Amino acid sequence: MKKITTLDEFIIKSQKSYNDATGQLTRLLRDIGIASKIINREVNMAGLVNILGVHGDENASGDKVQKLDIFANERMIDCLQNSGECAAIVSEENKEIIILDKVKGKDPQYVLVMDPLDGSSNIDVNVSVGTIFGIYKRKSNVSQDPGKEDFLQKGADLVASGYVLYGTSTILVYTTGNGVNGFTLDPSLGEFCLSHPDIKMPDRGNYYSVNQGYYLKFDVEIRRFIDQCNDDNLRLRYIGSMVSDLHRILFQGGIFLYPNTRKYPHGKLRLLYECNPMAMIIEQAGGIAITCKLDRVLELDVHDIHQRSTIALGSAAMVDDMKAFVARYSSPSTSF
């Protein structure tokens, strides 16, 4: 029988290759794994316990909040509060930074950014959703309260990032800047087990993923690029959950786009807890992540914790094609 490597074993083994590691990051990643299992259980039970449906509140970004968004947000915060390995959290569901109480004897060096439930409009119809997270080393002194400066860091400064996809099976994919690994939840063991070691994405693929319903609202260079994807007979796949859409592209190759529209002139997706963590994963797997203005996502300045950005990411050769279209068709007056 082949030896199974659990997420916990893998994280601890990886820590051992860093002489100066304190173990805090290891424990924080382990806590995220635990919270994901709790969220997974609830996502799977959603139809049974009448937790489905719009909760009625609006989140910090003005979107309708559904019950599972709140559940996922609270479980992740609870898990990290209890363990004391994280100093503060920025979540899609909270307007302000959440400062966690200190747990006795611990001086947490890390802060977390997260989209606790991504693709929440899919919940009511049993379609895949996900969790996105990113970890930064804090800038502020550990003896002081954490603050905005801990979060207003470029994506390139992320220490780790990852996502969990609650799909036909549940998979956790993460990187600490040294390659990307995927762990599938074995429900009978209750453990994430290494299933996709050292993920490298194809240089090209057959898929493009964009909300084509907004075609007429995109700038001309993006429309031309989408036309080219059509002409090349690429297959359009769009679930409406960035995690699910990008998961396909990570494994099978392709490009995912969320450009600016009239409604979202700076793009819809959030830089801190959607674009940057996913950009880090894609780059670590050999892909490229840029804005529709062709800037590297991970190099963007972060001035607001809920800042939005346009994004185009996926297989390197396909993002390069998109760059060429944007360079050729954009006029100086075109915004973003």
Q: Which residues bind ligand AHG (CB under 6 A)?
A: 63, 92, 115, 118-120, 211, 240-242, 258, 268
Tokens of 14: 């990886």
Beta strand 129-137 pairing with 160-166: antiparallel
Tokens of 275: 């674009």
Q: Judged by CB, which is closer to Mn ion: 115, or 150? A: 115
Q: How far is the CB of 137 from Mn ion (least distance, A)?
A: 24
Q: Judged by CB, which is closer to Mn ion: 31, or 115? A: 115
Q: Compute the radius of gyration of the chain from its Cα atoms.
A: 19
Q: How far is the CB of 52 from Mn ion (least distance, A)?
A: 16
Specify the stretch interacting with Mn ion by CB under 5 A; choose among 72-80, 92-100, 171-179, 246-254. Answer: 92-100
In the bound state, the residue with its beta carbon closest to Mn ion is 118
Q: How far is the CB of 242 from ligand AHG (least distance, A)?
A: 4
Select from ligand AHG, Mn ion, none the partner in contact with residue 219, using the beta carbon and a kind-dependent cut-off of 5 to 8 Å.
none
Contacts with Mn ion: how many residues (CB under 5 A)? 4
Q: How far is the CB of 52 from ligand AHG (least distance, A)?
A: 15
Select from Mn ion, ligand AHG, none the partner in contact with residue 241, using the beta carbon and a kind-dependent cut-off of 5 to 8 Å.
ligand AHG
Ramachandran angles phi, psi of 96, nearest 5°: -105, 165
Tokens of 284: 């670590």
Q: How far is the CB of 268 from Mn ion (least distance, A)?
A: 9
Asked if 40 and 166 count as a contact pair (C-beta separation under 8 A), the reply is yes
Q: Does 219 bind Mn ion (CB under 5 A)?
A: no
Select from Mn ion, ligand AHG, none the partner in contact with residue 212, using the beta carbon and a kind-dependent cut-off of 5 to 8 Å.
none
Q: Identify which of 60, 85, 83 has the alpha carbon closest to the alpha carbon of residue 73.
A: 60
Q: Judged by CB, which is closer to ligand AHG: 85, or 118? A: 118
Q: Does 245 bind Mn ion (CB under 5 A)?
A: no
User: Facing residues of 314 across strands?
Assistant: 255, 288
Select from Mn ion, ligand AHG, none the partner in contact with residue 93, using the beta carbon and a kind-dependent cut-off of 5 to 8 Å.
none
Q: Mind giving me the DSSP string for 158-178?
A: -SEEEEEEESSSEEEEEESSS
Active site residues: 63, 69, 92-93, 115, 117-118, 274
d(CA 98, CA 89): 5
Select from Mn ion, ligand AHG, none the partner in contact with residue 291, using the beta carbon and a kind-dependent cut-off of 5 to 8 Å.
none
Select from ligand AHG, Mn ion, none the partner in contact with residue 175, using the beta carbon and a kind-dependent cut-off of 5 to 8 Å.
none
Residue located via tokens 């799909």: 167
Q: How far is the CB of 129 from ligand AHG (least distance, A)?
A: 7
Element (H, E) at 64: strand 64-66
Q: Identify which of 273, 300, 278 has the alpha carbon closest to the alpha carbon of residue 113.
A: 273
d(CA 162, CA 178): 13
Q: Is 126 left (phi over 0), alpha (psi -120 to 50) or beta?
A: left
Binding residues vs Mn ion (CB under 5 A): 92, 115, 117-118
